[in-house]
Amino acid sequence: MRIVVSGGSGRLGRPLVSDLAAIGHELISLDRTPIAALDQDGIVQVEVDLADGAAAERALRDARADAVIHLAAIAVPFSAPEETILRTNATLALTVLGGAVRAGIPRVVAASSPTVLGYGAPQGWTPKRLPLDENSPAQPWNAYALSKLLIEQTLDMLRREAGERIRFASFRPCYVIAPEEWAGAPTQQGHTVRERLDDPALSAPALFNYVDARDVAAFADTLLTGIEDIPNGEVFLVGAADALAREPLSELLPRYHPGTAGAASALTGTAPAFSSERATALLGWHPTRSWRSELALTSAS
């Protein structure tokens, strides 16, 4: 396929663009800043301010793409004023996703976030059940999480407008870990993977969720290939099959999130707090990488 990725220069965008190109797709990365020192066949970079609706739609029309994956956003909670995060991410959802529909791109996919589920709320958070999945209630408590829910709702709005002529889906990737981060590069919050494992307090705010960036790329490939065979407008959680923790979450979660002991009792062994079973059931996708194997590989090398 010929695939447009908005925000292709970001933390998830870079490995996603690279891996999808390696699979054999043609990639067009739309971003204000190109990927530095990129030397890979099958990737075209277009510099564009996606907050400019006219410029975004023009770039999407020029791409003549089979699919768009929308990643462009302020990607870290509280990394900017709340009003800036909400305004920026909501605007990008309208300009990119709406522009894709007007450009007639037949497959439109957007990245959301598990944070829409509201864990870590300052006034307390008590889930009715664990693991969390796509049927868990959305309860955003900050502008970032709300903006991600707005992205999902923007897709729903466009689906109601466009009908079945365009296929829509959104996905909520867990805490993304890129290949170089297994080797010791800092993760999104500035700590290494080993530091997050050694100090559970670092991963506790995200309920110890994570996913390898290459597994996200494989998910995106599988989704775009099978999107016509699933209900239009599906939402998927995309995470690793285990938790980023050395202890069972049945013990860790109550320690850091009071009131979760009852629900967490279901998370025995290495079970994560987030389920990707919908992606497995509808698409046949499942994660293939774990922190145990990836850290062992980087240590051996």
Residues designated as active site: 144
**What residue spans of 32-142 are helical by DSSP H?**
53-63, 82-92, 98-102
Q: How far is CA 171 from CA 38, 53, 205, in A?
A: 26, 23, 20
- Asked if residues 275 and 133 have their Cβ atoms less than 8 Å apart, the reply is yes
* Token pair listed for 119: 């864990």
Q: Are 272 and 131 in contact (CB under 8 A)?
A: yes
CB proximity list for 292: less than 8 A, separation 6 or greater = 242
Other CB atoms within a 10 A radius of the CB of residue 216 amount to: 24
Distance of alpha carbon 133 from alpha carbon 155, whole angstroms: 19
Tell me, what DSSP letter sits at residue 76? S
Q: Scan for tokens 């925000």, then name that residue.
A: 7
Closest CA relative to residue 207, chosen from 170, 240, 171? 240
- The Cα-based distances of 74 to 30, 135, 147, 162, 174 in angstroms read 15, 26, 10, 27, 16
Which residue(s) pair with 177 in the sheet? 212
What CA–CA distance (Å, rounded) separates 265 from 37? 48
d(CA 243, CA 292): 10
